[in-house]
Structure formats: C-alpha cells, structure tokens
Amino acid sequence: MKWLEKLRNKSNFKGIPTGRGYSKNEWNKLMRTRFTKRHGDGPAGLDYAKSYQYNPNLGERFLDALPLVGGKRDYNRTMDYIDRVHDDPNENERAEKEFQKRAYVTGKTQQYSSSTNNTSHEDRFSSGNLVSSDDPTVYGSSRFASENNTTKYDQFISGNRSGHQVYEDNTTKLAMDPYNIAVPKQGRTVLGVPIGYSGKITSNVAEGGGSKLDPYINTETLKSQVMRNKNLAIGTSNKRWGYAE
C-alpha cells in the first residue's frame, strides 16, 4: 500500500498543480525542485532542526509585534520550519523505499445505521488504518469518523527519521522532532487581512540530554488506537507483505 501515491495523484499538493498522475520519478523531481526553490541548498531535515534559531532584526521584531500581521508571520515561519525539517525530499524518498521493500497494514472499518420507512435516524461510520515498515520511524496512520454525514474527526499521522507530523481535517496541527516542537494554527484571510493565524516553535531538548517528548511514536500505540473501537466492526485486516518495483 503506497500511501505516498495518494499525494502524487492529488490535483494540487504544496503548490504543485498536478492535474494528472505522476510517476514516482517525476513526482520526486518536482518535490526536489520545489524544495530547493523555497529553501535553497542549505541544511534540511534534522541537520536544520538541530541548528535552528530565530534571531529577528529590529524591523522583523516590529512586524512580529503587529496585531494580526505578527500572527501570520509566526504561522508562516512555523510552516516553513515544518516543511524544511519534515518534508526533506531525501527523507521522503527513503521512507517510500522502506514501504516498497515491505509494508505492514492494519485496518478497521465499522458502520451503524438505522431507518424507518426510508427515513434515516442514525448513520455512523468510522475507519482507521496503519501502514508501517521495518523501520519503526516510517509509518502512516489515519483515522476518520462521521455521524449523519458530518465529519467528527479526520486525522492523519506520518513519521520518518525527522520525527512525526499530525494533520487534522487536511491541516497541519503539529510537528515534532528531537530538537523542536512546531505548532501552527491556520486562520483565514478577510479582505486581505489575516485573522486567527498563529505559530510557535519550542525547544524539545531536555536539560540532561535527549528529548523532552519522544518524537518517534511507537507504532503499536497507533495500532491500538486504530483497533480499539469495540462497536460494530464490519471489516478488519492485518496483512504483511513485501514488494519491490
């Protein structure tokens, strides 16, 4: 199960208008070009995370202190950090190769509905899956639930050697690596004015060494989250296979 292919087949991802499915090599080349244009040839991944510092000059401090504008600047800086650390093309390509060698898939889907005389009274649906590899840092996990056609939660967690990212409702909510924790909050723009944006990057380095919070989630924990729902289960799977292109 190559979940990265879902990204290649989206109509737009990270500013790249796809409009069609890309081959693996085409997609990787596009992502590398995009990354270099945005960040240059400087350090990326954990090398960037380890050395990261934000030292604004006087003008930047002034802009950061402005209402609304400062929040949008914090958000942009946080998202830039996440992109540079967690979306390093080298790490993403390495993670995909791990999935190509061998993938372990666990999933559960369940649904409950009731109706009378063609009138629906209740309709609940939930699903979850975990795709992991022989490398414990490389995985993708998703959980989704809806009730009466209203989404209750839609979460995706991805991991690689840089740490992990959490997405909810297609929005990045958190990214954690051994050195920093990045938390962006997406707002909205009204008549050109940014409202509700914020972002924060805090150190994850413990005083005695190591990390305050472990950025590498145990996939058994994710598996438990996927499978723990005790309601009506209409389909489960726990498969293991290896493949190579």
Q: Name residue, tokens 């060494």.
A: 209
pLDDT category at 11 given cuts 50, 70, 90 is very low
Q: For position 229, what pLDDT does the model report?
A: 56
Instruction: Return d(Cα 18, Cα 171) in angstroms, integer.
Output: 19
179 burial via Cβ count (<10 Å: 0-12, 13-18, 19+): buried
Torsion angles phi and psi, residue 45, rounded to 5:
60, -145
Looking only at Cα atoms, what is the longest distance across the chain?
69
Q: For position 14, what pLDDT does the model report?
A: 53
Segment 168-213, tens digit of pLDDT:
988 999 999 999 999 999 999 999 999 999 999 999 999 988 999 9
Instruction: Return d(Cα 225, Cα 122) in angstroms, integer.
Output: 24
- Three-state DSSP at 207 gives coil
Segment 63-118, tens digit of pLDDT:
999 999 999 999 999 999 999 999 999 888 889 889 989 999 988 888 888 777 77
Instruction: Return d(Cα 141, Cα 225) in angstroms, integer.
Output: 10
pTM to 2 decimals? Answer: 0.80
Q: Mention every residue, 6+ apart, whose C-beta is less than 8 A from residue 142.
A: 127, 128, 129, 155, 156, 157
CA dihedral over 163, 49, 42, 37, signed as positive or negative: positive
